[in-house]
C-alpha cells in the first residue's frame, strides 16, 4: 500500500489519527499532569525528528562495588543481603 494513492484529505486524516494514537499511547496509564508531561515529551521527540525516544541506560553496579558497600555493614546485615540476593539468583 502507498499513501501516495490516497487523496491529500485522506492522507491528512490518517496522519491526525496516527498522531492521536501515538500521543494517546504516551499518556496511557497516567493521569493529569503526569499524562500531560508524557504527551509533551513524546511531542518533543517527534518534533526532533525521532520516532522513539532514546533512553538512558539503567545505572549499573559492579560486583566489586557491591562487595565494597556490603563490607561497610554489620555481619548480620551483610549476610541477610547476601542471602536475599542468592534467593533471586545473584551469588557473591
Residue extents of the structural domains in the chain: 3-47, 56-92
pLDDT tens for 11-67 read 999 999 999 999 999 999 999 999 999 999 999 999 999 998 777 667 788 888 999
Report d(CA 62, CA 55) in Å as an integer: 21
CA neighbor of 41 nearest in space, from 29, 27, 56: 27
Contact (Cβ atoms closer than 8 angstroms) between residue 43 and residue 53: no
pTM of the model: 0.55
Q: According to the model, what pLDDT value does residue 59 have? A: 76
Q: According to the model, what pLDDT value does residue 35 have? A: 95
Report d(CA 16, CA 22) in Å as an integer: 10
Report d(CA 48, CA 6) in Å as an integer: 27
Amino acid at each position: 500500500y502507498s499513501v501516495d494513492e490516497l487523496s491529500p484529505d485522506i492522507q491528512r486524516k490518517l496522519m491526525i489519527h496516527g498522531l492521536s494514537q501515538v500521543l494517546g499511547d504516551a499518556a496511557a496509564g497516567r493521569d493529569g499532569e503526569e499524562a500531560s508531561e508524557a504527551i509533551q515529551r513524546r511531542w518533543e521527540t517527534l518534533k526532533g525528528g525521532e520516532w522513539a525516544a532514546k533512553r538512558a541506560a539503567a545505572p549499573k553496579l559492579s560486583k566489586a562495588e557491591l562487595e565494597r558497600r556490603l563490607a561497610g555493614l554489620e555481619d548480620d546485615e551483610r549476610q541477610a543481603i547476601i542471602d536475599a540476593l542468592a534467593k533471586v539468583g545473584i551469588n557473591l
